[in-house]
Structure 1
Amino acid sequence: MKTMIRNITNILFVALMFALISACGEDGLNADSVIKESQREENDFDRWIIQKYVTPYNIDFKYRMEDIESDRDYNLVPANYTKSVQMAKLVDFLCLQVYDEVTGSKEFIRSYFPKMIHLVGSPAYRNNNTMVLGTAEGGLKITLYNVNAVKVTDVEELNRFYFKTIHHEFAHILHQTIPYTTDFKEITGSSYVKDSWNTTYSSENESLPKGFISPYASSAPDEDFVELISIYVTSSPEVWAEKMKKAGEGLGLVTAKFEIVYNYMLNSWNIDLNKLRELVLRNESKIGNLDLDKL
């Protein structure tokens, strides 16, 4: 009797499943997904990026807002199209071309520069209310913020908000690839203040006498190292000399650290920072001759 009941139950279950499958078929369902990837039409700027970034350097230049590339810890807006074109041309002229010239080929940038430059239109702020000028993630991507506010004719502002950041983040990649000597960390080893750098030093007038080229340089040895590179190559000899004058009793500390930085770049990468700065300043002086809107 139990066996008969079990068989009847199995038959009813199979019949029910068949009925459900048949009902689904009658609804006209098919195997095609209803979720479609968004399509975008390639424009002249996209083709220019392929010609100037992707083909010679294998660098992707992203200017459209993409959730996967954006930091959701911040409230961000997309980069303006016109500003993105201007920034792409400036990065090429003031950075990529300069490193090509100082190293003698495109291979240096192709091998070591991040594979993506990502533009964001708005600024981003840390918890300590300081602005994030740029970030580099694992040597793969540099993100530049506040692009919609860029003033393409203001060299000082370009350096302060964008190109000092690019040199800074690129220098991180270089020292992570070939470490600098531990001697550097010992010069001001007990004076680094971590995240309180912005409350410890309000300006370089306060940080320089303590041996730090900028307030942010006092946060950690790695930041100190790359700040020396980025500030040096974007400062004229006169501006750098003025900073050294401000250093006062901290001059010996800054000089000792910069000597290590200079020798590191020369011996590890065959890059003379004096020559790199010369080329950066030369191209900066030619910005006014560029048509930054025409592709």
Structure 2
Amino acid sequence: MDMKKILNIILISCLSLLFVGCKDDEPQKPSIFIDDTSENAITADFDKWLVETYTKRYNVDFQYKLVDSNTDESYNLSPTDYERSKELAHVINYLWFDVYSKVVYDDFLKLYGPRIIMLVGSYAVNASNHTITLGTAEGGIKVTLYGMNELKMNDINMLNEFIFETMHHEFSHILHQTKVYPKEFEQLTPGSYSPTGWQNRTDKEARQMGFVGAYASSQPRED
């Protein structure tokens, strides 16, 4: 057998192994990147539930399939796990939307709530001041919740700090962008706000200064 035939055999063998390897690497879980809306999609039942629960009832687009163009590109972000997305969609509906519907009235969140809720699996890390962003509110319509893959669903303290408090905090930003709070509020503790040093305060220290927590002492809109 000449050298050319040997090289061809080796090349074919390598390509065969490559294809096998690629096949083995195919994801076994539903993709959170591909927006497959067909009836046979693995995510179809969940997507239908989101439409019925959020879109039709509250006019909200609940986004869990990460789209780069919808995120802050200054952060290196990853999507929320599919099963975690399902858990959180139920939790957020039960502890946020259902609560407001019962305590206020059905159309309250249609009028003043977010139009978009987006889940992000990873934290938004701020390297400049060594902090993480748990959530953002944009343009009076969009709430983004970060670090969803890092949550421990059986840890109530973590859930309170990283999801429950955050979602209500971000909703307050959405509300304030349509219903402005009195400007006199900013004069209650005018000399104590620290936009760049709040992270060096403990919650106890911040409360002694008149704030509900350290982050609230960063600026009036966060108070």
TM-score computed with the length of structure 1 as normaliser: 0.60
Question: Are the equivalent residues in 1 in contact too, given 2:66–2:79 (CA < 8 A)?
Answer: yes
Give the distance between the partners of 2:71 and 2:144, measured in 1 at CA. 9
Q: How does 1:178-189 map to 2 (within 5 A)?
A: 178-189=179-190
SS in 1 for 2:154: coil
Question: Are the equivalent residues in 1 in contact too, given 2:203–2:214 (CA < 8 A)?
Answer: yes
The aligned counterpart of 1:122 is: 122
The aligned counterpart of 1:173 is: 174
Counterpart AA for 1:57: Y
1:40 matches 2:36: yes
Give the distance between the partners of 1:149 and 1:192, measured in 2 at CA. 30
Aligned-residue sequence identity (percent) comes to: 43
The aligned counterpart of 2:135 is: 134
Q: How does 1:42-81 map to 2 (within 5 A)?
A: 42=38, 43-81=44-82
The aligned counterpart of 2:206 is: 207
- Superposition RMSD in Å: 1.4
Give the C-alpha shift of residue 152 in structure 1.
Answer: 2.2
1:111 matches 2:111: yes
Give the distance between the partners of 1:148 and 1:167, measured in 2 at CA. 19
Give the distance between the partners of 1:173 and 1:39, measured in 2 at CA. 27
Segments of 4+ moved more than 4 angstroms = none
Rg larger for = 1
Unaligned ranges ≥5, structure 1: 1-37, 225-295
Give the distance between the partners of 1:132 and 1:193, measured in 2 at CA. 17
Unaligned ranges ≥5, structure 2: 1-33, 39-43
Which structure: greater helix fraction?
Answer: 1
Q: Provide the aligned length of Structure 1 versus Structure 2.
A: 184
Give the C-alpha shift of residue 164 in structure 1.
Answer: 0.6
TM-score computed with the length of structure 2 as normaliser: 0.78
SS in 2 for 1:161: helix
More moved, 44-53 vs 149-158 = 149-158
The aligned counterpart of 1:85 is: 86
Residue deviations 1:245-274, cap 9 Å, x none?
xxxxxxxxxxxxxxxxxxxxxxxxxxxxxx
